[in-house]
Chains A and B, each alone.
Chain A
Amino acid sequence: MVIVKRKDAQAVQKDTQTVQKDRRSRQRDLAGLIAELSDSIPIARRWAARDLAKYAEAAPALVERLEKETDATVRQAIFTSLTLIGNHLAVDGLVRCLRSDDAALRNEAVEAMKNLPDAVSPIMAGLLDDPDPDVRIFAVNILESMRHPDVEEWLIEVIRQDEHINVCAAAADLLNEVGTEAALEPLEALKQRFPDEPYIAFAADLALKRIRGG
């Protein structure tokens, strides 16, 4: 039988966190980990980013690294840590990512913010008012996971007032799921706001049907 079981050694390997044994080993405290964030080896940066999750003060360093990081696995670890830290510094950093030219960065930031409903809700009204329509769309996307009593009200406000069609479209889509009778009249009005747009009519009618029938 050649399926082995280690009777003597441990079934799992000892924790090996250092990547290069010949290198002077760095302390895995806050300062040491932040230094490791700039290591030339991606896996070292990844482990550093992962381990920084327990230091709330590390948020600015993580955000700073995010802006230069090109390795997707390291970025993922940074976003996870920022989510776990979830303080206003982390959220500020995530908001900055929403404006990035890098689609992956923007979308990962949206996801991270979706996992931080309580930390994001204080700034939601501001995001929904952002001069950039893409940021407003992201704000609507983030509302999907928000547990706040004003969610529907915010969405209704968007479809009443937002001048950008895709922001309104995103809000109408979400109202499919969270809309109540309060959204019925604003949805009808939305169709009149964009009378020559088949997609708006489609999305509004869908939401109306869902709210009335569900």
Chain B
Amino acid sequence: MTVAKIVISDEAFQKFREFFYRKTGIQFDDSKRYFVDKRLIERIGATGHTSFRSYFTFMRFQASGEELQALTNVMTVNETYFFREEHQFQCLVKAMLPEIVKTKKPGATIRIWSIPCSSGEEPYSIALYLTEYWPGIHEWDVELIASDIDTEILKKARAGKFSPRSVQHLPGNLLQQHFKRLSDGDYQISEDLRQAVEFTRINLHDPADTRPYRGFDVIFCRNLLIYFDDLSRRRAAEVFYDALNPGGFICLGHSESMSRITSLYKVRKFPEVIVYQKQEA
């Protein structure tokens, strides 16, 4: 018995495209047709459906939102590596920090939060970037907090051992200076950088966990909120709002936008990126 091959019609593609754009802000133009069709067919099969229509109805109406999350997962690229979305770090150093230090008294500490930190590439990238590219590092103390819900991945992050793939985008001189190549081919980050980040476990959905997080100047929350349902996204954005100092900044992933989350923040355009700012005092 042969199973009918699932085909995504033009209308189905349009329907999916509009729905996905509304939910996530991600736009797929016609050139992405193959990319999208392939993944849709994968999910249709994985959920035991035989047509786009039945799959779409199922996914659209599912109370838990799990399938939409799984679908979003396959439609987005999720790798973490050092200096991922580097333009945001450039913006941190060139634009955000200069604005922030104007509001600080001498001797104040600048506080940056990376969440989710996953295996540590993001917070260590920030530490590295500040060390190498921010002149202000010689004048200001910076505190780097990195959080995730997964204790196993936090252990990994604290250990500071990374694959060649993870460090491949680092300039050669930085890699040499701040990492040691191990016998198994992995790279061990320097002790100084390892000690520069405080890792904490947090469940963003739990107010008891999130309430103590206060007084941050910059938050990096990249490629997390896109996987939350509407209400959870909004609540997370509110947690971050309370966590930020007035005038503080939050950076989302490059394909994410506050337009799908909340109007709490002011949209700020810098040469490198769009970031979001809590209103100043």
- A–B contact, 8 Å CB criterion (strictly below): yes
Assess whether A5 is in contact with B195, with CB atoms less than 8 Å apart.
Answer: yes
Asked, given contacts A16-B214, A213-B12, A214-B11, whether A4 binds B234 with beta carbons under 8 Å apart, the answer is: no
Interface size on A, residues (CB 8 A): 35
Residues of chain A lying within 8 A (CB to CB) of residue B127:
3
| CA of A2 to CA of B196, assembled, Å | 9
Assess whether A80 is in contact with B142, with CB atoms less than 8 Å apart.
Answer: no
| CA of A177 to CA of B109, assembled, Å | 51
Assess whether A6 is in contact with B211, with CB atoms less than 8 Å apart.
Answer: no
Question: B211 — nearest CB in chain A belongs to which residue?
Answer: A15
- Counting chain B CB atoms within 10 Å of each CB, the highest count among A10, A111, A214 belongs to A214
Residues of chain B lying within 8 A (CB to CB) of residue A72:
263-264
* Chain A min CB distance to B6 (Å): 13
Asked, given contacts A3-B127, A12-B145, whether A210 binds B63 with beta carbons under 8 Å apart, the answer is: no
Question: A212 — nearest CB in chain B belongs to which residue?
Answer: B11
Assess whether B137 is in contact with A176, with CB atoms less than 8 Å apart.
Answer: no
Question: A76 — nearest CB in chain B belongs to which residue?
Answer: B264
Asked, given contacts A4-B141, A73-B241, whether A210 binds B212 with beta carbons under 8 Å apart, the answer is: no
Asked, given contacts A3-B131, A12-B212, whether A213 binds B198 with beta carbons under 8 Å apart, the answer is: no
Question: B19 — nearest CB in chain A belongs to which residue?
Answer: A177
Residues of chain B lying within 8 A (CB to CB) of residue A23:
none
Asked, given contacts A2-B137, A3-B131, A16-B214, whether A11 binds B145 with beta carbons under 8 Å apart, the answer is: yes
| CA of A50 to CA of B142, assembled, Å | 30
B94 CB-CB contact with A under 8 Å: no
* Chain B min CB distance to A185 (Å): 19
Assess whether A115 is in contact with B231, with CB atoms less than 8 Å apart.
Answer: yes
Asked, given contacts A5-B143, A13-B212, A73-B264, whether A210 binds B15 with beta carbons under 8 Å apart, the answer is: yes
B226 CB-CB contact with A under 8 Å: no
* Chain B min CB distance to A102 (Å): 14
| CA of A210 to CA of B231, assembled, Å | 29
Asked, given contacts A6-B143, A80-B238, A214-B11, whether A13 binds B53 with beta carbons under 8 Å apart, the answer is: no
A141 CB-CB contact with B under 8 Å: no
| CA of A114 to CA of B14, assembled, Å | 23
Instruction: Determine the interface band of chain B, counting residues with CB < 8 A from chain A.
Output: 35 or more
B177 CB-CB contact with A under 8 Å: no
| CA of A158 to CA of B62, assembled, Å | 24
Q: Which single member of B11, B56, B142, B214 contacts A3 (CB below 8 Å)?
A: B142
| CA of A48 to CA of B62, assembled, Å | 33
Assess whether B143 is in contact with A4, with CB atoms less than 8 Å apart.
Answer: yes
> B104-132, CB under 8 A of A: which get 1 and which 0?
00000100000000000000000100110
Residues of chain A lying within 8 A (CB to CB) of residue B198:
5-6, 11
Residues of chain B lying within 8 A (CB to CB) of residue A83:
231
Residues of chain A lying within 8 A (CB to CB) of residue B130:
3
* Chain B min CB distance to A190 (Å): 19
List A97-115 residues whose CB lies under 8 Å from chain B.
111, 114-115
Assess whether A5 is in contact with B197, with CB atoms less than 8 Å apart.
Answer: yes
Assess whether A5 is in contact with B196, with CB atoms less than 8 Å apart.
Answer: yes
Residues of chain A lying within 8 A (CB to CB) of residue B192:
1
* Chain B min CB distance to A142 (Å): 13
- Counting chain B CB atoms within 10 Å of each CB, the highest count among A10, A12, A209, A210 belongs to A12
A68 CB-CB contact with B under 8 Å: no
* Chain A min CB distance to B9 (Å): 5
Assess whether B238 is in contact with A147, with CB atoms less than 8 Å apart.
Answer: no
| CA of A80 to CA of B138, assembled, Å | 42
A178 CB-CB contact with B under 8 Å: yes
* Chain A min CB distance to B219 (Å): 13
Residues of chain A lying within 8 A (CB to CB) of residue B214:
12-13, 16
Residues of chain B lying within 8 A (CB to CB) of residue A84:
231
Q: Which single member of B10, B18, B56, B279 contacts A213 (CB below 8 Å)?
A: B10
10 A-B contacts (beta carbon < 8 Å): A2-B140, A3-B144, A4-B109, A4-B142, A6-B143, A11-B198, A15-B211, A177-B18, A213-B10, A214-B53
Q: Residues on A close to B: CB < 8 A?
A: 1-6, 10-17, 47, 50, 72-73, 76-77, 80, 83-84, 111, 114-115, 147, 176-178, 209-210, 212-214
Ordered nearest first, which 5 A-B pairs have the shortest CB separation? A213-B11, A214-B11, A3-B196, A11-B198, A214-B12
Extra A-B contacts (20), CB below 8 Å, given A5-B195, A177-B15, A209-B11: A1-B192, A1-B196, A2-B141, A3-B141, A3-B196, A3-B197, A5-B196, A6-B143, A12-B213, A13-B212, A13-B213, A14-B212, A15-B212, A17-B211, A73-B241, A76-B264, A80-B234, A84-B231, A176-B15, A178-B60
